[in-house]
Structure 1
């Protein structure tokens, strides 16, 4: 069982090595990188390439680790007991299975995505250590132990919003998805938009990387934003010459696809003003 990428996902060799190493070691793969570099999509493509089902657990700031195992609805059980509902007699009626429970009890091996783990409380990763290590957990309400029928392929993503505990990191295989170089990004564009005019792509990516290198930029545009921008350029039939002429004396064309806050828009407005004043 090896991942080599898919027709819909351009995976660099070091990324495929990381995925296969995590599968071999039977450890979670912790993937970090800038937003929009394909971390979440990686799990989907691994599942597709290996013909496995995908379970997705999208972590929020309010998410607790226990929710990944199960949740016991004591309030509903109390209400049903007061109403004389027969469901009250079986506590299992009030236990809602989480994504880890689903992954552990699936008939076939699955890919489990724990997405943006760094959004949650700092204790969240530590609270999952034993379950991800031993691939089992205890259900206190029923007295049963849930064990994985087969170990899922666990892919965990992080945007580096907060540091993760060392004890958690020790149990993971780590990979950082670096921002793709121009040649790789051209391949990604070709995958998403086959047959696109290459001269437009080259002009667009030249300007795109120039934008990313501007000093003082609060949020650098990502891979996904580059794809959106190029799609709009094609839709509006923008010529490569228009892009080259626009690069130094005005905001980038359709800049709303690339610049996502007013600070960066104002930065480019100032740069454009200075370029025009200096005869650029």
Structure 2
């Protein structure tokens, strides 16, 4: 595996994923009972946007940098989290999803983060070496779903929680099959959890088989949220990305819709973009 997220930290895909992740965490926090979060492809947890990798691509300039001054509450929630990360780790720091989970969740909650690449896993362990809520596993995230779900802490079983699956898609369309199989297995082990699968969008029409298969999963609901920053007509670049959300929180679609519109307005390029929230299977 050659993928390194440091080249892409803070780009438009990160913005969508991380704004939505915080919204899902806030939904979990709405009830007092402890919850559990699993991040299957966690990366190193913390990035520096002035490091060589980030400067080489400059992708954050088309992502988080374009959101300054945004008034939407969902985006403001995200920018506050980025500001908290920078207060702790320097003015060019950018939080990965494990950092955001730890920032958003509570003392009674528990988080497991998986990363297969040894260097990235070592950096992730360093980020959380003083946080007893967070367990870092240097292992394959898909395999970890079988081992860690349903989650327990001693004799305590967690009734509520979130599984974030954010693979690198180095195998491109083949990764969708692997991810769907992982979702199917995860639902059989922990059916009441919310699952969020991130995916890239090049040609949207190529994703039709994925949408059909996802809609047939044994979940209470299947929601797709997608943000494109340019037209969906180039297979040579990532034009946008989406999150497939299984068992989405109540009214998540209507509550998140204004934030989707605000992100599109801030991030789309002159040729135009798109934002959509669509139930592939609506809740009963």
Q: Could you tell me the TM-score, scaled by structure 1's length? A: 0.29
Higher helix share: 1
Q: Could you tell me the TM-score, scaled by structure 2's length? A: 0.29
Work out which of the two has the higher radius of gyration on C-alpha atoms and give 1 or 2.
Answer: 1
Higher strand share: 2
